[in-house]
Structure 1
Amino acid sequence: MTKPAASVGAGDVLTFAQGRQIRVIRVEAAGMRRGPAPEAQALYTDLTPVPDPCEPPPVRKGPRPTKKHRRDYEESRRPPLE
């Protein structure tokens, strides 16, 4: 195991979390300059396994409801007046 600040070079394999997905990347070459995305993508190979099509996608929760949303929900849940 190396230190987090260790240099990365050609042939190194990196594993990291990106959102809820685990990515596995093999560095092919070191870039000489900061350039456009297609140039950067040519410097690594993505080894991340393809997700199983039978596995359901992760559930994405929306933003926290506002006070107005909660009031509207509570209003819709009240029984009708007789």
Structure 2
Amino acid sequence: MKDKDDDKVRLDKWLWAARFYKTRALAKAAIEGGKVHHRGERCKPGKEPRLGDEYVIRSGFDERTVVVLGLSAVRRGAPEAQLLYAETPESVQRREQATQQRKAGALGLQTDGRPSKKQRRQLHSFNEQRVASHPWADEE
């Protein structure tokens, strides 16, 4: 049974129903913050998505390019929500490459955890020396 409200649905409501954002408020804030683009331009929360429209959605580190396949104003389970859109193959490839690069970069930044008491003292003394040797430190 098709609901007449499914023909016209707000973009923020569709993003929420498609499970890109946990709440409509977050979806609206993302749209207003410039995280959702259609044809290279920022969108408004009240825009009505149409079948076949392509949106670029940024969420965290990820940027997805999706094509609207269905409209819904009701949030359902994840398997049903995934039927509302299709992510382009180029978008999937870009996200996988970015994930691999982040993981590779994170491997070079591994630490032993928090500094020990001795290391913390050394850091404080180093920072004090750095501040004391700075030209503007004598202005007081």
- The TM-score with structure 2 as length reference comes to 0.39
What is the CA-CA distance between 1:43 and the residue it aligns to?
1.1
- The one of 65, 78, 82 equivalent to 1:24 is 65
In structure 2, do the counterparts of structure 1 residues 12 and 73 end up closer, same or farther at CA, with 3 Å as the change threshold?
farther
**Matched residue pairs, number?**
70
Provide, for residues 19-69 of structure 1, a one-character-per-residue CA deviation record: whole Å limited to 9, x for no partner. 22221000101025321110010111011141476x95213478xx7xxx2
The answer for the alignment partner of 1:11 in structure 2 is 52
1-side partners of 2:87 and 2:118: how far apart? 45
C-alpha root-mean-square deviation of aligned residues, in Å?
Answer: 3.3
Identity of aligned residues (%): 19
Distance 2:59 2:81 in 1: 18
1:80 match? none
Structure 1 gap ranges (5+):
78-82
Q: Normalized per residue, which structure has more strand?
A: 1
Unaligned runs of 5+ in 2: 1-40, 123-140
Paired amino acid for 1:50? Q
Which structure has more helix as a fraction of its residues? 2
